A = this chain, B = another copy of it.
Amino acid sequence: MPVYQAPLRDQQFVIHELLDACAQLAALPPYAEVDAGTIDQVLEESGKFCAEVLFPLNASGDVEGCRYDAQARSVTTPQGFKQAWQQFRDAGWGGVAGDPEFGGQGLPALIHTAIGEMQCSANQAWAMYPGLTLGAYECLHAHGTPEQKALYLPKLLSGEWAGTMCLTEPQCGTDLGLIKTRAVPTGDGAYKITGSKIFISAGEHDLTENIVHLVLAKLPDAPEGSRGISLFIVPKFLPTAEGGVGERNGIFCAGIEHKMGIHGNSTCQMVMENATGWLVSEPHQGLAAMFVMMNGARLGVGMQGLGLNEVAYQNAVAYARERLQSRALKGAAAPDKPADPIIVHPDVRRMLLTARAYAEGGRALGYWAGLQIDIAHAHPDAAVREEAGQMLALITPIVKAFLTDNGLSSAIEAQQVFGGHGYIRDNGAEQYVRDARITTIYEGTNTIQALDLLGRKVLRDNGAALRRFGAKVQAFVQEHGTREDMNEFITPLADLGDKFTKLTMEVGMKAMADPTEVGAAATDYLRVAGHLVFAYFWAQMARVALDRQGSGDPFYAAKLATARFYFARLLPEAGARMRALRAGKQSLMAMDADWF
């Protein structure tokens, strides 16, 4: 039987001991009252909800999947999903980080980030429904008119209505400039929208009375390409003046996909036939408006990677403790049993520690990013807000791509611990791999994240954002560089920092001469950047653990052992990636397209 418990102790470590979040939040007026007790209580309650309500539906939801009724053009979610949504709604989980003006609880994004991790550990397919709803909320909160906000935001925060983002079409995924969906003004402020969308997560379901689709489409006078895309609200049911549910709108689900995983989430083909929609933001500015939703969604997908990483790890540990097979190489560890638990075997530990180090590093990075959202949003000093926003923009593609790559490889390592028992359905390990597999693909493939990091976030401002982040690393190195017990962490961190600076300059020079070099370097560059960031956070975590190990709490000894494992066994990937990257475009472009 699969197991899951919220990793509360490590979450608290990251929030309180690593980030000292309450002190940072105290400087932000809307969150000044948020104390440690509140945070811990919310996390504990969320952990209970995830473990007790969502997790028991994870395996059954995978087996059952969503069902499409072609007659009614409706989708039925797996058994229990609707009741869980009801409980979620009744407990107010949909509004945790929402604006109090629209019925939200106004808690920091940091807390929401931690809740997101737990929901994805417990049931990623289910968690996508509220995840997309929150994305729609954020987009409309940022770009909606006062009337649109008043009408939609309370419904989205309360969980009465759900949301989606409708971008992809059969002929365009990454390249949204190719969108064919058309919007024609009706003259009364509304638009008639016609077109087809695919891969619309949560596009149709039975959880809510209404679904608010945010749809990218082109106006009749739209410029070519991605500069001609506009954003529209297209609700499943047209709202009445009183905010109720009115007439059925011309947006329908035409079918759902058979997928490798996340079976409990409906992936819909959506067809619009003169559907009524309303413009969000300005004409042709849809992509910029949608990016609010997409940036949030990218951090959210990073948390999916972390969540699956964590639950896969927990299950592999449980199995490795109970499965008896062979003896430890240096002699029996449990001579009273027919064989030793496989956790004695070094290579089983290598697999477990890989998943553990990636989960704990990802948590530190992901929650730090969550805190930057709060600072960027609410710090009274504009310069501080600006810096937090810049750091967030820089780190978003790393959170998305590095945490999902790591999540997938950790889920695979965790499955491997089970041997043949990990390949069959019963133990849950194979579902984590199938579910994790989508996270490196959607919300911009990890290639797109890598291009975003190197091309837009690093090179476009000539490395300014990166230097700012580097200054933080540098300050940490200088502050702790003289501590002998920190030497094993500081030395490789400083070394990688220097190499990364040099690497960035090299790539920048090559990119100026030939933009193809950016594409040839991007994926390896992102992996190196991810390791630099992880080394920075792991060194910080080691510092806290060293200072507190005298307490006798084995948590700190485990944290130090995991930090040492990370530096010894995982960080070396950065060196190989730097070497591969330096081969440049020639190693990729020399092959004629016809020769493949």
Contacts and interface: CB of A to CB of B under 8 A. Distances in A.
B423 A445 contact: no
A478 interface: no
Interface in A324-346: 324-326, 328-330, 338-339, 341, 343-346
Interface string A41-82: 000000000000000000000000000000000000000000
B596 A317 contact: yes
A584 to B, nearest CB: 8
B596 A343 contact: yes
A472 interface: no
Contacts of A258: 424-426
Copies of this protein chain in the complex:
2
A178 B339 contact: yes
Contacts of A349: 588-589, 591
A426 B259 CA distance: 9
A275 interface: no
A424 B590 contact: no
A347 B523 contact: yes
Nearest to A574: B576
Interface of A is mostly: helix
Nearest to A313: B596
A479 interface: no
A430 interface: yes
Contact of A572 (B320, B416, B576, B593): B576
Contacts of A168: 420
A440 B416 contact: yes
Interface stretch (A294-302, A373-381, A563-571): A563-571
By CB atoms of chain B within 10 A, which of A353, A408, A514 has the most? Answer: A353
Interface of A: 168, 171-175, 178, 198-199, 257-261, 267, 317, 320-321, 324-326, 328-330, 338-339, 341, 343-350, 352-353, 356, 408, 412, 415-416, 419-426, 430, 433-434, 437-438, 440-442, 445-447, 450-451, 514-516, 518-520, 522-523, 554, 557-558, 561-562, 564-565, 568-570, 572-577, 579-580, 583, 585, 587-596
